[in-house]
Amino acid sequence: MQETATPTETAILAGIDDKECIGLYGDISEQLDELAELAATAGATVKGRLTQRRENVHPGHYLGKGKIEELKDLAISEWASMVICNDELSPAQLRNLSDMLNMKVLDRTALILDIFAMRARSAEGKVQVEMAQLKYRLSHLTGAGRAMSRLGGGIGTRGPGETKLETDRRQIREKLTRLRRELAEIRDRRRLLRHNRERSGIPVISLVGYTNAGKSTLMRLLSGADVFVEDKLFATLDATTRKIELGTAEVLLTDTVGFIQKLPADLVEAFKSTLEELKYADILLHVVDVSNPAHQNHMGVVYQTLASLEIGGKPVITVYNKTDKLDRDNQAVLLADPRAEVCVRTAAVNRTGRDELLNAMDTVLQSLRRSITVLLPFSQGWLMDYAHKNCNVISREHTQDGVLLELYAEGEALGRLRELMT
Ligand SMILES: Nc1nc2c(ncn2[C@@H]2O[C@H](COP(=O)(O)OP(=O)(O)OP(=O)(O)O)[C@@H](O)[C@H]2O)c(=O)[nH]1
Ligand SMILES: [Mg+2]
């Protein structure tokens, strides 16, 4: 028989029950549910949970001494190989906790970084994740602790090379400089693509939302694109764009990385160029998994993340997805989203709501359409024919320098006439 199975790591989750956080993040049990999903996505089996009610985390070792003893007993009795903490820990906290438990300790940030490292596919995605990991390692170089370095490998150490953990700061800094240069080149290429796209004048509609909400499934449904869908967190890291027909117009639909609460700052920073694509969207489709009891919190996190990326003011269509998982009573209590232009209910898995969504997209797009005024020089008389054929002309006026037209233009025609705008 062939041996294929790699031993799965087993983990105990640890968190602080801090009432302050409930507002945006949900209560501690909801938070640990999500942490468990993250752990499962990274390939760990969760064997138990332990929480401590405190106002603040312990500055030296995250949990109090008594709780750490309890945690140690639990880990031993469950044969767990590591502890995953629900917050981002300081290097000293990580080292101390790991030494006191004599066990590998990961924080939420390292776990998410690990998942991203596992998921990155494109050159840009890989460079971005590696940058975020190196930055994290740079700030934690002395923080691995005895237990961590002894038990090397596995979750939290994946990505580009474990030996890099041991490389010194200077080498990491040099690597970061090189990666920054690589990323700048990738960004230049992207900018060129974007420039071409803008010239073509095709409107852009972007899917945004909490991770696992069903963005890629909707992308499939609306565009037929064969994008990756999985019931795990952060299935998508790279941006995908597809052209779709919408009523009379063509639009570009983009799918991208999902959001999560307490997204590590290094990752947001590293993924800025991917996320910045959202700046060029004309409309955002905010996909919400309404079957998740924490979906109201998730919506708050999405709006907060959009605001932090300075893309808060765009027209939003809220897509309440996974309605097939709700019973009738729960369907009825779905609230309207006051921040959205319109709300649509869908069940992307069985195509429910597809036409309503396409109609809503068309309607919002129409409402964004503004007329433009162009001056057609007499020397380019053919443009007059072109404008009448391809645009909706509202008024015409002859002047000394040419013909002044007010018109609605879309797509290629908009791109072509934009240069003549007055
Ligand atoms: N029951 C049900 N499941 C759905 C629906 N839409 C998507 N799913 C499932 O939800 C899971 C996540 O879907 P994805 O499309 O990968 O979600 P995503 O928002 O792209 O997730 P990330 O890329 O990880 O951020 C998959 O298992 C889908 O099959 C739906 O309407 N109903
Ligand atoms: Mg996806």
pTM metric for this prediction = 0.81
pLDDT band for position 331 (cuts 50, 70, 90): confident
Q: What is the predicted pLDDT for the residue at 353?
A: 95
Query: Ligand 1 — pocket residues by CB below 6 A?
Result: 209, 211-217, 229-231, 233-236, 258, 321-322, 324-325, 347-349
Nearest atom in ligand 1 to 236's CA: 23
How many angstroms does the Cα of residue 121 sit away from the middle of ligand 2? 13
Q: What would the pLDDT profile of 175-209 be if each residue is shown by its tens digit?
A: 889 998 988 888 887 777 777 666 666 888 999 99
Per-domain boundaries in the chain: 9-166, 201-368, 372-418
Nearest CA to ligand 1 atom 27: 231
How many angstroms does the Cα of residue 211 sit away from the middle of ligand 1? 9
C-alpha distance from residue 239 to each of 232, 259, 299 (Å)? 18, 13, 21
Q: What is the predicted pLDDT for the residue at 380?
A: 85
Mutate to test the pocket of ligand 1, among 287, 344, 349 (most ligand atoms within 8 A of CB): 349
**Ligand whose nearest atom lies closest to the CA of 212:** 1
Q: Token digits for 421? A: 């705008």
Nearest CA to ligand 1 atom 11: 231
Looking at the DSSP assignment, which residues form a beta bridge with residue 82? 11, 104
- Most confidently modeled of 73-87, 107-121, 251-265? 73-87
Q: What are phi and psi of 11, to 5 degrees?
A: -135, 150
**Ligand whose nearest atom lies closest to the CA of 322:** 1
Nearest CA to ligand 1 atom 13: 214
Among 206, 264, 205, CA closest to 234: 264
Q: What would the pLDDT profile of 297-312 be if each residue is shown by its tens digit?
A: 999 999 999 998 888 8
How many angstroms does the Cα of residue 249 sit away from the middle of ligand 1? 27
Mean pLDDT of the chain: 85
**Ligand whose nearest atom lies closest to the CA of 357:** 1
How many angstroms does the Cα of residue 230 sit away from the middle of ligand 1? 6
Distance CA 378, CA 387 (A): 14
Mutate to test the pocket of ligand 1, among 212, 227, 324 (most ligand atoms within 8 A of CB): 212
Q: What is the predicted pLDDT for the residue at 225?
A: 79
Most distant pair of Cα atoms in the chain: their distance: 90
Distance CA 345, CA 289 (A): 10
Contacts 24+ apart (CB under 8 A), 174-177: 175/134, 176/131, 176/134, 176/135, 176/138
Q: What would the pLDDT profile of 130-145 be if each residue is shown by its tens digit?
A: 988 888 888 877 544 4
Q: What is the predicted pLDDT for the residue at 2?
A: 42
Nearest atom in ligand 1 to 234's CA: 24
pLDDT band for position 222 (cuts 50, 70, 90): very high
Q: Looking at domain 201-368, which of 3.40.50.300, 3.10.20.30, 3.60.20.10, 1.10.3720.10 is its CATH number?
A: 3.40.50.300
pLDDT band for position 4 (cuts 50, 70, 90): very low
How many angstroms does the Cα of residue 160 sit away from the middle of ligand 2? 23
Domain 9-166 sits in which CATH superfamily?
A: GTPase HflX, N-terminal domain (3.40.50.11060)
H-only helix segments in 157-243: 169-200, 215-223
Q: Token digits for 143? A: 């923080």
